Chains A and B, each alone.
Chain A
Amino acid sequence: MDLKDLYRDVIVDHNRRPRNFGPLATANHSAEGHNPLCGDRLKLYIDVEGDTLADVAFEGSGCAISVASASLMTEALKGRALTDVRDYCDEVHKLLTQHDFVPTRDLGKLVALSGVREFPARVKCASLCWHTLLAALESKPQTVKTE
């Protein structure tokens, strides 16, 4: 187990300065994710326009892995087609859990999350925001309160 595998520079950076952090005024869906074991909590806001994830933001508190995963997720998915978004969710899930998984597309910085495979207790931290995103996509359209 090498710590540098888990806490790669990009993870540390996104934990320290999470991107797309805070409420989203234009959001029309949202969902809350909670990992009761860790106490990680996040709220995900998405703005779906037609077949596109026009915007996405999150807020909450959690460990470095969960915050960085959410930050990287928002950066990677903003502006993508919804079918594409679901593909990403699937790919990242495999990336986090399957040792020999070779991504079928270029996952960019998200590859940094693969280090959690060696730390089974931490897989849930990395996957929390992705499950929350799927829940937000399934949720009924609404005017989201961001206060």
Chain B
Amino acid sequence: MIPQVIEKHRSTTPDFDVNRIRRDFPILSEIINGWPLAYLDNAASSQHPVAVLQAIDTYYRESHANVHRGVHTLSQRATECYEGARDKVRRFINARSTHEIIFVRGTTEAINLVAQSYGRANFKPGDEIVLTWLEHHANIVPWQLLAGELGIVLRVAPIDARGMVDYDAYESLLGPRTRLVAFAHASNALGTVLPVKRMVAAARARGIPSLVDGAQAVPHLKVDVQALDCDFYAFSGHKMFGPTGIGVLYGREALLEAMPPWQGGGDMILTVSFTKGTTYNTLPYKFEAGTPNIADAIGLGAAIDYINALDWDALTAYENDLLAYATHRVGALPGIKLIGTADEKVSVLSFVMDGVHPHDLGTILDTEGIAVRTGHHCAMPVMEYFNLPATARASFAFYNTRAEVDRLVAALTRARAVFA
């Protein structure tokens, strides 16, 4: 198959030079099945600027040793890099202190940590946790595991046909037995941005702590945990141009202080004794048992530096324009139904095509170098609500372009022809 001449990538908002940005991401030059890669699967995992790749490489070449436990120079250097990354994360989400920044494997592990540590210490049979129908499995299953064991009850706020949480229904679920609310900042399957500030405030007014799953929000929205006033905020490095295997749990210091450790091992202790008992390390180390993922934490720090150096207003305008363009173009195709049309969305476009199963769409798009996700997006309750087995999902980052949307539209048209 011979690719058509690919239209040149153009910026559509004046202050944002997308071609300069694209040069920072080597993988975007890959040829896939004879076509230039059009990577539209950023909600699953985003790509990496050279700065991130170099930070990891340089760390391993010049600074690697174990952290927090050596007097030798390299160990001190590694510790400085690792703790430096923690402070970058703190500033990135405006936490008060690095005591509140715990490095974990990703959002999933962060939520499991809260469930296993905070949950076990605080939940009693009959207690309730309030979630929403939009949640990713990572913010459902950890609570279900706990519910089965502790006899707690999950209450789930419904969504509407546009994929927005029914706020009044959510508020009505908050009751005297509610011990935690846990919801996404933005939906991975539909892109819906939830009114988190309002939802957190409603919980706080009743003395209920809150956990926000920020995995889909951090690559698109400025996050300020103090302004949100949430008690826990979880996110992953690999969805915000950082490495896989590293993520963050932000927790309000007073809550973290009172929580028991959830994994035991080196680095999370002060003293260990068979005769005098064991005492635990201070925050955040109490929750970081064993040698941490030093290199990828440093990579995440580099991703934050990269994002911070961008003109955030221009970037937001550019992404909004791209989503509006994609929504318009894809939505206008015959036989296409957009799934999730909330007022406020991050750049995620979920859709189905009449007579063509999403998996067939995914395969056909891939033969033209276009990467989209197809399936239930680890949000099976969302699919259940819309009575769909699966959707196709194009999800954008600031390095995507209108030209790539045009290729998506052309390939979707061809896909329809295959099954016509």
Q: Which residues of A contact B (CB under 8 A)?
A: 1-3, 6-7, 12, 15-16, 37-41, 61-65, 119, 121-122, 125
Contact = CB atoms under 8 A, between A and B. Distances in A.
Contact of A3 (B356, B359, B375, B418): B418
Nearest to A2: B1
Binding site of A, secondary structure by majority: helix, strand, loop or mixed? mixed
A62 B357 contact: yes
Contact of B419 (A6, A39, A64, A122): A64
Given A1-B33, A39-B375, 14 more contacts: A3-B418, A6-B363, A16-B355, A37-B375, A38-B375, A38-B390, A39-B390, A41-B389, A61-B389, A62-B389, A64-B419, A121-B363, A122-B359, A122-B363
Contacts of A119: 363
B360 interface: yes
Contact of A64 (B360, B375, B390): B360
Contacts of B364: 3, 7
A125 B306 CA distance: 41
B360 A65 contact: yes
Nearest to A39: B389
B383 interface: yes
A125 B362 CA distance: 13
Nearest to A41: B389
B389 A3 contact: no
Of A12, A39, A40, A41, most buried by chain B (CB within 10 Å of CB) is A39
Nearest to A7: B418
A42 to B, nearest CB: 11
A65 B361 CA distance: 12
Of B33, B356, B376, B390, most buried by chain A (CB within 10 Å of CB) is B390
A143 to B, nearest CB: 29
Contacts of A1: 33, 367
Interface string B325-364: 0000000000000000000000000000001111110011
Contacts of A122: 359, 363
